[in-house]
Chain A
């Protein structure tokens, strides 16, 4: 018996947070960027058998300026560190990072001089997907977990968060 009974069907009521999160989640474009073995599994995820297009994510953007999601797929060598940092900084806000595979998450089997022991040492990571390499289903699960996380975000927190993240 509230006000919603009086308004016509063509009007939808929502909160600003929900609407923004919905639009972020529904049009998340990954950066087309592979490093090592996991990149091949990432390609499999985009290929017909697993078909990530079902989640509206089939457009891989080669340019970081058009991407929202960085999937770090593979081991990060020391020579690659500045490149990944630059790519992350070039992505416009809001942006998310998914660390795919054991090497990107913690160095994996390569505990040596050449491999960065986890990409979270240089950029903030939202979701970690374990595996060497993770199955495409695991990557999809990681992406769905990221969607859940995006749904819980609020513009209020983001303002502070962005200030911290940039640079």
Chain B
């Protein structure tokens, strides 16, 4: 009996298909995968530690740089957590605008995922289409926050500025363009034989396993579990919107692809409702000493000017206690645990990163399968290393 031998192969951290700087050590027996070990930490930035040394509103800037494909979702999660800690009620208009922006972010994140995932599987032209449509969303970002990606537009207690004057027009243009784009993607991929062969029955995870591994987001719903925090535990006024939870059946990479396309459609639906019903009102809550007063008041009223100065220089003091607030980010359950100690800086900020926990299921997805499916599995988990390593 000859001795059984395996080959150990190193993928990454510089590899075009690992979506950043992930390193995967693969043990192979011929073409079969025996063992897979994801090695993370190549983008460890110490974001949680940095946030402890910042004032509450300064720490917001760090959240953009975590899941850099969906910066506004991160802003939203952090702001909701701090608002829960400080017990701040935001105006209705802010809630609706936040929902609209969060859904735009979801589309943006899914578009990048679609482009990069298809490149991994050999459909090189998809990235060109998805980035074309992504640019239109970035235009909205730029009009709102003045930056293309890291806008930090959603702030504690409201928004950074008033919504731009042509916000409605710009977003409707996005909706139209993404709607047309979706037809392109479906034409290119949904019935594409090569794409189906590469993704169907690949990287399968059953519903029980998905729950046991505490997966969330498309990874969980792809296996047929109807769990979406927007419905299960509504935040920021999601209970006012009419939409369906997209879910798959088989839990393979193809189902997750279909599911994400469905999610884009549902997001478009939510955006349309948000635009139609956008209420009038202020863009920031009025909480003296915590939320910046409106700029016109700062110029003409003494107390407002003092509060403005005090908030900018020394921030605000949060009460002692811990809060946990999770949102449904494009990748899954994105939660913040913030502990306040009575000072103006958080004692501890802990992030529940969806892609890190989803990535942990990689060995489960690919062990026993073919080597070429590893790339497909990594792609279909939809990881972003900034959030995995933080």
A-side residues, CB < 8 A to B, are 32-37, 39-41, 43-44, 47-49, 60, 62, 64, 74-75, 77-80, 83, 87, 109-115, 132-133, 135
Q: Please give, as numbers and ranges, the residues of chain B lying within 8 Å of A83 by CB-CB distance.
A: 13-14, 21, 42
Cβ contact of A35, chosen from B21, B112, B132, cutoff 8 A: B21
Cβ contact of B20, chosen from A39, A111, A133, cutoff 8 A: A39
Q: Please give, as numbers and ranges, the residues of chain A lying within 8 Å of B112 by CB-CB distance.
A: 40
- What is the CB-to-nearest-CB distance from B22 to chain A, in angstroms, rounded to a whole number? 12
Instruction: Check B132 against A36 for contact (C-beta < 8 Å).
Output: no
Instruction: Check A112 against B49 for contact (C-beta < 8 Å).
Output: yes
Q: Please give, as numbers and ranges, the residues of chain A lying within 8 Å of B305 by CB-CB distance.
A: none
Q: Please give, as numbers and ranges, the residues of chain B lying within 8 Å of A113 by CB-CB distance.
A: 46, 49
Instruction: Check B41 against A79 for contact (C-beta < 8 Å).
Output: yes
Can you report 28 A-B residue pairs in the complex whose CB atoms are below 8 A from each other?
Answer: A35-B20, A35-B43, A36-B20, A36-B45, A36-B65, A36-B386, A37-B65, A37-B149, A43-B131, A44-B135, A47-B127, A47-B135, A49-B131, A62-B16, A77-B42, A77-B44, A77-B45, A79-B41, A80-B42, A87-B14, A109-B62, A109-B65, A110-B45, A110-B47, A112-B50, A114-B45, A115-B45, A135-B148
Q: Which of B1-56 contact A (CB under 8 A)?
A: 13-16, 20-21, 41-47, 49-50
Q: Which 10 A-B pairs have the closest CB atoms?
A: A47-B131, A114-B46, A37-B68, A112-B46, A49-B135, A62-B16, A77-B44, A114-B44, A80-B42, A48-B128
Q: Which of B130-159 contact A (CB under 8 A)?
A: 131-132, 134-135, 138, 148-150
Give A75 to B15 CA distance when docked, in angstroms: 17
- What is the CB-to-nearest-CB distance from B123 to chain A, in angstroms, rounded to a whole number? 15
- What is the CB-to-nearest-CB distance from A84 to chain B, in angstroms, rounded to a whole number? 9
Q: Please give, as numbers and ranges, the residues of chain A lying within 8 Å of B13 by CB-CB distance.
A: 80, 83
Q: Which of B367-390 contact A (CB under 8 A)?
A: 385-386, 389
Residue of B nearest to A135 (CB): B148
Instruction: Give the interface size class of chain B.
Output: 20 to 34
A-B contact count (CB 8 A): 95
Question: Is B215 part of the contact surface with A, judged by Cβ < 8 Å?
Answer: no
Give A109 to B60 CA distance when docked, in angstroms: 12
Question: Is B80 part of the contact surface with A, judged by Cβ < 8 Å?
Answer: no
Residue of A nearest to B64 (CB): A37
Cβ contact of B149, chosen from A41, A60, A111, cutoff 8 A: A41
Instruction: Check B16 against A36 for contact (C-beta < 8 Å).
Output: no
Question: Is B204 part of the contact surface with A, judged by Cβ < 8 Å?
Answer: no
Give A139 to B161 CA distance when docked, in angstroms: 28
Instruction: Check B68 against A36 for contact (C-beta < 8 Å).
Output: yes
Cβ contact of B150, chosen from A60, A79, A133, cutoff 8 A: A133
Instruction: Check A37 against B49 for contact (C-beta < 8 Å).
Output: no
Residue of A nearest to B149 (CB): A133
Question: Is B69 part of the contact surface with A, judged by Cβ < 8 Å?
Answer: yes
- What is the CB-to-nearest-CB distance from A42 to chain B, in angstroms, rounded to a whole number? 12
Residue of A nearest to B389 (CB): A77
- What is the CB-to-nearest-CB distance from B118 to chain A, in angstroms, rounded to a whole number? 14
Question: Is B97 part of the contact surface with A, judged by Cβ < 8 Å?
Answer: no
Give A160 to B15 CA distance when docked, in angstroms: 33
Q: Please give, as numbers and ranges, the residues of chain B lying within 8 Å of A48 by CB-CB distance.
A: 128, 131-132
- What is the CB-to-nearest-CB distance from B174 to chain A, in angstroms, rounded to a whole number? 14
Are A77 and B150 also in contact (CB < 8 A) when A48-B128, A109-B61 are? no
Give A49 to B131 CA distance when docked, in angstroms: 8
- What is the CB-to-nearest-CB distance from B319 to chain A, in angstroms, rounded to a whole number? 27
Residue of B nearest to A61 (CB): B16
Give A31 to B274 CA distance when docked, in angstroms: 42
Q: Please give, as numbers and ranges, the residues of chain A lying within 8 Å of B47 by CB-CB distance.
A: 110
Give A83 to B16 CA distance when docked, in angstroms: 15
- What is the CB-to-nearest-CB distance from A113 to chain B, in angstroms, rounded to a whole number? 6
- What is the CB-to-nearest-CB distance from B274 to chain A, in angstroms, rounded to a whole number? 25
Cβ contact of B21, chosen from A80, A110, A135, cutoff 8 A: A80
- What is the CB-to-nearest-CB distance from A149 to chain B, in angstroms, rounded to a whole number? 25
Instruction: Check A36 against B128 for contact (C-beta < 8 Å).
Output: no
Give A41 to B65 CA distance when docked, in angstroms: 13
- What is the CB-to-nearest-CB distance from B40 to chain A, in angstroms, rounded to a whole number? 9
- What is the CB-to-nearest-CB distance from A60 to chain B, in angstroms, rounded to a whole number? 8
Residue of B nearest to A78 (CB): B44
Give A48 to B128 CA distance when docked, in angstroms: 6
Instruction: Check A40 against B68 for contact (C-beta < 8 Å).
Output: yes
Give A133 to B50 CA distance when docked, in angstroms: 19
Instruction: Check A110 against B46 for contact (C-beta < 8 Å).
Output: yes
- What is the CB-to-nearest-CB distance from A167 to chain B, in angstroms, rounded to a whole number? 20
A-B contact sample (11 more), CB < 8 A, given A43-B127, A44-B131, A77-B389: A36-B68, A44-B135, A47-B131, A62-B15, A64-B14, A80-B42, A80-B43, A109-B50, A110-B47, A112-B50, A113-B49
- What is the CB-to-nearest-CB distance from A108 to chain B, in angstroms, rounded to a whole number? 9
Give A39 to B149 CA distance when docked, in angstroms: 12
Are A36 and B385 also in contact (CB < 8 A) when A79-B42, A112-B49, A113-B49 are? yes
Q: Please give, as numbers and ranges, the residues of chain B lying within 8 Å of A62 by CB-CB distance.
A: 14-16
> Considering residues B14, B15, B65, B150, which has the most beta carbons from chain A within 10 angstroms of its beta carbon?
B14
Q: Please give, as numbers and ranges, the residues of chain A lying within 8 Å of B49 by CB-CB distance.
A: 112-114
Residue-wise interface mask of B (103-138) relative to A, using a CB-CB cutoff of 8 A (1 in contact, 0 not): 000000000100000000000000110011011001
